[in-house]
Amino acid sequence: MKALNASNQIVIQIMAATLLLFFAGQVAAFDYSALPSAPPEMHQCMEEKLDSKIMGYVYSGQRPKDKQTRKTIKKTYETCFTATNKSRGIPTYDGPLFDAMSQIDETVNMDQAIRNVRAAGVTKLALFARSRKRLHQNEQAVLNLAERNPDLIILGTPKYFRLSDDISNAYIESTVKGIRKHGYKFIGEILYTHGDKSTGKQYARGERYIDPSRPGTTRLMEALAPLKVPVMVHWEPYAPKRDYPRFHALYAAWPNQVFILPHMGFATAKTIDDFMSRHPNLHALTSKKNASWTISPIPRKKH
């Protein structure tokens, strides 16, 4: 993460110390369907450690029914990932894990999730509510959770799923009011571009989309300007001709606003380097880097 100005450095340092994107109290599921597309050296390494029956699951991308087999495949993948990186001269990171994309909703036993987080050795958690059906959904529950865990949780504004095409006035008003009333330290993820998932909500046009050049984003930036809180802007690289100019324009238009790019945009290193070198107010998180663009320590579901 790039160096930050003094007004935002403490908040982002706290966010960079967080761990675990959890759904149902667990880290996002291991994606067996990504295994067939792993690099040849990964397959070779796994072949040396697994028998042909288990490798059949690896090459087919099927999820084994047997729990022990699943555990064996996952552990072997992680071992071979480390070994492959070492053979390439890539240093292995052995410090604390960090992921500032922690979000939670009503499908989770929240107190148990926090016990899991503490058991994992996490000392600070940047967390925001997931409001999938309506504004403020789960907000009070997460506020209560933070009250029960004041030493651990740093709160961001709720993530709202029902924005489309433009940022609504209701979302802007709710977000600004929440910052002033509850002291939220960052804006929870805004889904500007988000490709449909095979297991999730499907749209006729194949995506969830907010146009960053529409007036609603301008109104949001104007409202946030005096509050000086970082904004998580989620975008993906599948429509670069449409979106890259728009996000370059957004970052350039608001040089004093700190923007956070979750998942490194799922983009290539070259694309991320281009964006971050052009915009000193843009900072990238490594959370959930997609296996379809690069090797990931744990394969994730593709968008």
User: Over the chain, what is the mean pLDDT?
Assistant: 83
Residues 111 and 249 in one domain: yes
Residue-number span of the structural domain to which 224 is assigned: 6-20+98-284
Residue 38 located in a structural domain = yes
Residue 262 located in a structural domain = yes
Question: Secondary structure of the chain in the HEC alphabet?
Answer: CCCCCHHHHHHHHHHHCCCCCEECCEECCCCHHHHHHCCHHHHHHHHCCCCHHHHHHHHHCCCCCCHHHHHHHHHHHHHHHHHHHHHCCCCCCCCCCCCCCEEECCCCCHHHHHHHHHHCCCCCEEEEEEECCCCCCCHHHHHHHHHHCCCCEEECCCEECCCEEECCHHHHHHHHHHHHHHCCCCEEEEECEEECCCCCCCCCCCEEEECCCCHHHHHHHHHHCCCCCCEEEECCCCCHHHHHHHHHHHHHHCCCCCEEEHHHHHCCHHHHHHHHHHCCCEEECCCCCCCCCCCCCCCCCCC
Residues 69 and 118 in one domain: no
Q: Which of 87, 106, 134 is the last residue of a domain?
A: 87
Residue 30 has pLDDT above 80, yes or no: no
Residues 66 and 150 in one domain: no
pLDDT in tens, 68-78: 999 999 999 98
Residues 70 and 217 in one domain: no
Amino acid occupying residue 191: L
Domain of 204, CATH number, reads 3.20.20.140
Look at residue 199 in the predicted model and tell me its pLDDT. Answer: 61
Confidence (pTM): 0.69
Residues 81 and 197 in one domain: no
Residue 137 has pLDDT above 70, yes or no: yes
Residues 241 and 123 in one domain: yes
Residues 130 and 264 in one domain: yes
User: Nearest to residue 258, comparing CAs of 237, 240, 276, 274?
Assistant: 276
C-alpha distances out from residue 193 to 94, 112, 152, 208, 253, Å? 32, 32, 31, 6, 19
Q: How far apart are CA 87 and CA 45, in angstroms?
A: 11
Residues 258 and 193 in one domain: yes
Residues 249 and 163 in one domain: yes
The backbone torsions φ and ψ at residue 247, rounded to the nearest 5 degrees and listed phi first, read -75, -35
Residue 117 located in a structural domain = yes
Residues 57 and 14 in one domain: no
Q: Which of 127-136, 189-198, 265-274 has the highest mean pLDDT?
A: 127-136
pLDDT in tens, 223-263: 999 999 999 999 998 889 999 999 999 999 999 999 999 98
84 confidence band (pLDDT: 50, 70, 90) = confident
Residue 92 located in a structural domain = no
Look at residue 82 in the predicted model and tell me its pLDDT. Answer: 83
Q: What is the dihedral of CA 86, 91, 92, 96, to 10 degrees?
A: 180
Look at residue 95 in the predicted model and tell me its pLDDT. Answer: 67
The count of structural domains within the chain is 2
